[in-house]
Structures are given as structure tokens and as C-alpha cells.
Amino acid sequence: MPGILSELRVLELTHRPSGAYCAKLLADQGADTIKVEPPGWGDQARHEPPFIDEVPHPDRGTSFLAFNTNKRGITLDLEQADGRELFQSLASTVDIIIESYPPGKPAELGLGYDRLSEANPGLILVSITYFGQDGPYANYQGDDLVAQAMGGYLYAVTGSASHPPMGTALQQMEITAARNGAVAVMAALLRREQSGEGTHIDVSTMEAAVSTPSGLIHPYTYTGRNPHRGGSDGNVMDGMHLPTLDGEVTLTTAGTGGRPMQAWAEFLEEPGLLDPKFGSRGGRMEYWEELYALVAPKLAQWTNLDLMRETMARGLVIGLVQTPQQVVESPHLEERGFFVEMDHARAGTLRYPGSGFFIDGENAMESTRPAPRLGEHNVEILCGELGLTVRDLGLLRAARVI
């Protein structure tokens, strides 16, 4: 079955993971997505370590490979007139453009929403930046950590109360902004089906961070208390990571019918857990070190997968703290057919995560192509679709336009 978005065409002109991931979400559902990169260097993510086989190479950066699946790639220097002209030709053929320039820069290049939508009234333009298109921070510099900090996530969510703030790994604010952008695109597409009109969507990564924890703005305005990090500190039964035979696990008190210590005492065969001082959440926090000393050695007798199977059978709810390696080798994900395999000319065959949902039992993730090499589709798109001759292409290359 062709992907749901297979009739759509997307142009991606982004410089940050949020934009690349947003375009990937569309590409993974079948949209013909063309990534436009500056000639020579390309997307900065091509140059971010780590690299496959640990050899620095613009086609081997793992972030680049992960965030650019199912896209075609061309190079264009938009600082040059030919580059802009070719971009405009492409822009008039697409449904969606995703860009992450500083606000105002596209208009400066003659590629602002007004100009582009004149030629293509149904165009959906997504601008995805750290702070949005307006407001006092619009031109601030950012990255994922800055977004975590300014969005209140860093202070309140991850780290330990007795330590400085500490963030969540792997650029999750970028990912969240990208997911917000994809939702916005789908709503805009449905609107366009009704009205024929396109739109300009403004996505802010800082706001993605503010929106993310449920416990930030309104818990403060309701209670006057500032949410603060450290929720897993000393929280043996509901947050800490505890060692197992071959990894780590985090427990919960869920699924115990309101009698967590009885249920866990029985499961772990540790009557010490029945001590009344562990009967309340407060007591468990107060005597956490004693509780840890009882629970940890028992858990350490289990392997992760055995523990998962046996707790599941009794309705207890745990989370294995899996390493990426354990995730890749997960028998559960294997049976579901979650990963899709693609072969990349420089990075080799790798299994890529799916989209997180199956449609009518089928993995919804496309596996048309791995991330493009720099300028891989220049000939295919610029000659094949825009009608340039191979000779012109040579000229543009010499002039560093492509």
C-alpha cells in the first residue's frame, strides 16, 4: 500500500534537527520530500558526531541518518540568484515547505511566505525555530539545551533536587517541536482540502518545551508552588533505577490494587517490605535507603526479560531501563516488526525505528530510501524535473550554486 501522504510533495530547507525531523515524519508516511542543503557542507547534522564506524564523514553522522529517512536530497546555494530561482521553481510544485531560517531571512532572500504563496496559493509553509517568528526572543540563538532551559523543562523535570539542573538526552525538545509541526501540517492539509488555501505555520521549540511537562504552568498558577526537579530522588518504588542481573529496572506501585508493598513483598519474597514504616509513600521516601537495601538485592537476581515476563503475568507494572542495544535486540519489537531495514551506500544496512503506529496491522513507516548523500538527487530533480541540461548542471556546480 502506498504511504498515506504519497500524493504530496514537501520541500525541506532546515538547519536544525526540529525541521529535519518534522520533514522526516511526513517523508516516512510517503510524502515525496526533497531536502535542500547548502552546497559543499550540507546540513550541519552531517558533521555531528558520532559517525557510523566512527569515521567522520558527511554521510555517516548518526543523527543525520536517523532524521532524514525517505528523503531525496539536492544542493542549492540560496545566496545566489540561480539558487533562489531554482528554489522558486521547485516551491511552485510542492504542497509543503518546512524552513528554519531566522525570522525575516526568507523574505530577505525573496522567499518569504507572501512571495511563495503568490505563485502557489495552496502552499503550507512551516517555520520551525527556537523562539517563533515574533516576540522579543525571535532573533535569539538557541539549541536543544537552551530550549529546555528557557522552556522551564530543565529546571523542573529531569535532574536531582540536590544537584544542578540536568536535561533529557537526545534533543527531545527538537523532536517535540517537530511532532507539533507535523500535527499542524496535517490540520492545515485538511483545511486546504476544504478551502483550497494554504497557510504559514509558526512553530517554536521553546514553546514545545513549555508545553511538554504537564506539571509546569498551571500547577504553579493553581497552587503557587514552583514545580521542581528531583521527583525520582529516593523514590525506590516509583522512579529510581534499580540494578538487575543484566541491566536496570524502574518499579511502580501500579497494578497492586492499592496494596503495593504487599504485592511486591510477595513477588520478591521479601517480608521486610511489609514493615509498616514503608506503608505510605511518605514513609517509603523517608526510609528509602533501608527500602533500597531490601529491594535491590532481590531484583539483582533477575534478568531483565525474565523480570518483565513474570511481573507482567502478575499484573505488576515495571519499566526495564533498556540500553539502546537491548532495544535493538528486543524480542517484543522483533515480533511486531517495528524496525525497517534500509541499505545506505556509505553507512551500510541498518534497522531504523518505525513511526510508532501500525495501520491496519501494517508498519506505517516507509522504507523507500535511507538518508540522501549530499546532492544525491541533483541530476534526477534539477535535470529530470526542472528541465536543466547536464551542461547547465556543470555550470551551476562550477559557480558553486549546487
Residues 361-390 that bind other proteins (CB under 8 A): 361, 364
Least Å distance, CB 284 to other proteins, is 16
CB-wise, 276 or 324, nearer to other proteins?
Answer: 324
Least Å distance, CB 151 to other proteins, is 7
Q: Dihedral of the CA atoms 336, 338, 344, 347 (nearest 10)? A: -100
Cβ atoms 47, 58 nearer than 8 A? yes
H helix or E strand, kind and range, residue 383: none
Least Å distance, CB 268 to other proteins, is 18
Residues 234-253 that bind other proteins (CB under 8 A): 239-241, 248-250, 252
Rg from Cα positions in the chain:
25
Nearest to 365 by CA among 344, 345, 340, 393: 340
Q: Which residue in 11, 294, 295, 320 binds other proteins (CB under 8 A)?
A: 320
Q: Dihedral of the CA atoms 92, 95, 100, 105 (nearest 10)? A: 30
Nearest to 375 by CA among 81, 72, 88, 60: 72
Residues 76-105 that bind other proteins (CB under 8 A): none
Hey, how many other C-beta atoms are within 10 angstroms of the C-beta on 225? 8
Choices 70-78, 79-87, 291-299, 316-324 (CB under 8 A): range interacting with other proteins: 316-324
Quick check: 154 binds other proteins (CB under 8 A)?
yes
Residues 6+ apart with CB under 8 A from 182: 22, 25, 26
Site map (CB under 8 A) of other proteins, residues 200-229, x = contact: xxxxx-xxx-xxxxxxxxxxxxxxxxxx--
Least Å distance, CB 353 to other proteins, is 4
Residue with cell 525506590: 236
Largest Cα separation within the chain, whole Å, is: 83
DSSP-derived letter for residue 344 is E
Residues 27-56 that bind other proteins (CB under 8 A): 29, 48-50, 52-54
Residue with cell 516551491: 91
Total interface residues for other proteins by CB under 8 A: 144
Least Å distance, CB 274 to other proteins, is 23
CB-wise, 77 or 95, nearer to other proteins?
Answer: 95
Quick check: 193 binds other proteins (CB under 8 A)?
yes
CB-wise, 87 or 153, nearer to other proteins?
Answer: 153
CB-wise, 297 or 394, nearer to other proteins?
Answer: 297
Q: Which residue in 11, 66, 294, 295 binds other proteins (CB under 8 A)?
A: 66
Residues 6+ apart with CB under 8 A from 62: 50, 51, 52
